[in-house]
């Protein structure tokens, strides 16, 4: 039954891909077959991979799988024909066709071919963040996960078009980590989490990565509730505050740090809270408040073991405060 379903779906894809080739040849955009293929082809690719590449699947005689192999061969032939149509199209090829081709190559592990397809996609139309981040992903995959300058450029262009794109920010954080800039990687992840008031399908990934980087920095693990509003000023808040005049900034600080200040009144032993409050005041150039917060942190820091990472964070905040005095 399972093999029958695989063959049936494969035949549907083959039929749809034929229509896709016809669509590109006739230069009609946005047709239903293309949209169906975008949904179906990745699923079929995974099914075929699991069926043919899984060592746990019992051996089946070639004769019993002859039809399945023929369908796969037809599928591969049609992908080749689609690529030929796109590359030979005088108009530069159909946007959806290039994206589809790149997606198929990525699913098949043909990363260098995916890079070429996504490059044509952004050359054809560079207005979409998703197109740039797909190019970045293919470049990273082709370099075994390393983020090259070309991949970073694609990430930056994706962020320029959508500054809140979770995957683009995630890739940028990975770049910072690759370069040893852990504090910046952590800040990016936490900042984006702070902006998302409800949990989504990507917040768990962010939490895992943020906690992993945070552990390297000596920070306590963070936990996110089902619906959580951040306590105290976030990095996004600080950036926004820097755009305000002095009166507006004062009002902003009073409103944004009040919840953290109240929290510290009931939890005065929260070292991370005092360090975070100190950092916020330093960035906002509220030096007197920063010194007061650091003094509270110092009392707690002195009780820690000499090798505790928080001591280094505290020392760095002291240096930051001295630099702007």
Residue range 143-168: mean pLDDT, rounded: 93
| Confidence at residue 48, expressed as pLDDT on a 0 to 100 scale | 47
Contact call for residues 281 and 236 (beta carbons, < 8 A): no
Is the pLDDT at 224 greater than 60? The verdict is yes
> CA angle, corner 86, sides to 82 and 87, nearest 5?
115
Q: Of 150, 192, 197, whose CA–CA distance to 168 is shortest?
A: 192
Q: Which residue has the tokens 């746990």?
A: 56
What HEC string does the chain produce?
A: CHHHHHHHHHHHHHHHHHHHHHHHHCCCCCCHHHHHHHHHHHHHHHHHHHHHHCCCCCCCCHHHHHHHHHHHHHHHHHHHHHHHHHHHCCCCCCHHHHHHHHHHHHHCCCHHHHHHHHHHHHHHCCCCHHHHHHHHHHHHHHCCCCCCHHHHHHHHHHHHHCCCCHHHHHHHHHHHHHCCCHHHHHHHHHHHHHHCCECCCCHHHHHHHHHHHHHHHCCCCCCCCCECCCCCCCHHHHHHHCCCCHHHHHHHHHHHHHHHHHHHHHCCCCHHHHHHHHHHHHHCCCHHHHHHHHHHHHHHHCCCCCCCHHHHHHHHHHHHHHHCC
Higher local confidence (pLDDT), 228 or 145: 145
Is the pLDDT at 23 greater than 90? The verdict is no
| Confidence at residue 134, expressed as pLDDT on a 0 to 100 scale | 95
| Confidence at residue 283, expressed as pLDDT on a 0 to 100 scale | 65
Q: How far apart are CA 103 and CA 208, in angstroms?
A: 27
% of the chain residues with pLDDT over 70: 64
Is the pLDDT at 272 greater than 60? The verdict is yes
Is the pLDDT at 299 greater than 80? The verdict is yes
Higher local confidence (pLDDT), 271 or 120: 120
| Confidence at residue 218, expressed as pLDDT on a 0 to 100 scale | 87
Sort 211 into a burial class: Cβ within 10 Å, 0-12 / 13-18 / 19+. middle
Mean pLDDT of the chain: 75
Residue range 41-53: mean pLDDT, rounded: 49
| Confidence at residue 118, expressed as pLDDT on a 0 to 100 scale | 95
User: Confidence class of residue 52 from pLDDT cuts 50, 70 and 90?
Assistant: very low
| Confidence at residue 316, expressed as pLDDT on a 0 to 100 scale | 82
User: Confidence class of residue 119 from pLDDT cuts 50, 70 and 90?
Assistant: very high
Is the pLDDT at 293 greater than 80? The verdict is yes
% of the chain residues with pLDDT over 90: 25
Q: How far apart are CA 245 and CA 95, in angstroms?
A: 45
Ranking 105-114, 234-243, 249-258 by mean pLDDT, the lowest is 234-243
Higher local confidence (pLDDT), 236 or 180: 180
The tokens for 108 are 């098949």
CATH topology for 148-230? 1.25.40
Contacts 24+ apart (CB under 8 A), 62-66: 65/3
User: Confidence class of residue 289 from pLDDT cuts 50, 70 and 90?
Assistant: confident
Measured N-to-C along each axis, helices 309-323 and 287-301 cross at an angle, to the nearest 10 degrees, of 160
Contact call for residues 158 and 118 (beta carbons, < 8 A): no
* CA 175 to each of CA 107, 195, 203, 239: distance values in angstroms, whole numbers, following the listed order: 23, 21, 19, 21
Q: Kindly report whether the global pTM for this prediction surpasses the value 0.75.
A: no
- Among the ranges 45-54, 162-171, 229-238, 258-267, which has the highest mean pLDDT value? 162-171
For residue range 210-223, what is the model confidence (pLDDT) as tens digits? 999 988 988 878 77
Is the pLDDT at 112 greater than 50? The verdict is yes
Is the pLDDT at 151 greater than 50? The verdict is yes
Residue range 263-286: mean pLDDT, rounded: 79
Is the pLDDT at 123 greater than 90? The verdict is yes
User: Confidence class of residue 49 from pLDDT cuts 50, 70 and 90?
Assistant: very low
């Amino acid at each position: 039954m399972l093999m029958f379903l695989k063959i049936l779906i494969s035949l549907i894809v083959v039929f749809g891909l034929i229509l896709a080739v016809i669509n590109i040849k006739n230069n009609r955009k946005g047709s239903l077959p293309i949209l169906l293929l975008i949904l179906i082809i990745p699923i079929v690719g995974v099914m075929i991979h699991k069926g043919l590449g899984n060592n746990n699947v019992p051996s089946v005689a070639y004769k019993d799988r002859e039809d399945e192999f023929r369908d796969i061969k037809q599928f591969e032939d049609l992908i080749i024909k689609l690529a030929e149509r796109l590359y030979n199209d005088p108009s530069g090829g159909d946007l959806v066709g290039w994206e589809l081709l790149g997606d198929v190559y990525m699913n098949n592990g043909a990363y260098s071919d995916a890079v070429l397809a996504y490059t044509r996609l952004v050359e054809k139309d560079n207005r979409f963040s998703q197109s740039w981040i797909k190019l970045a992903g293919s470049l990273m995959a082709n370099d075994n996960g390393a983020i090259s300058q070309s991949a970073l450029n694609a990430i930056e262009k994706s962020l320029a078009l959508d500054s809140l794109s979770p995957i683009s920010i995630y890739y940028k954080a990975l770049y910072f980590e690759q370069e040893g800039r852990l504090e910046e990687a952590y800040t990016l992840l936490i900042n984006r989490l702070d902006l998302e008031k409800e949990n989504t399908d990507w917040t768990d990934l962010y939490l895992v990565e943020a906690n992993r980087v945070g552990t390297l920095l000596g920070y306590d693990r963070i936990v996110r509730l089902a619906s959580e509003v951040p306590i105290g000023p976030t990095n996004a808040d600080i950036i926004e505050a820097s755009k305000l005049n002095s009166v507006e900034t004062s009002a902003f600080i009073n409103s944004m740090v009040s919840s953290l200040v109240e929290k510290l009144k009931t939890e005065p032993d929260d070292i991370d809270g005092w360090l975070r409050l100190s950092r916020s005041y330093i960035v906002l150039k509220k030096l007197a408040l920063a010194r007061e917060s650091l003094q509270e942190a110092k009392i707690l820091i002195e009780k820690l073991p000499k090798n505790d990472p928080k001591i280094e964070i505290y020392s760095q905040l002291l240096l930051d405060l001295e630099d702007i005095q």
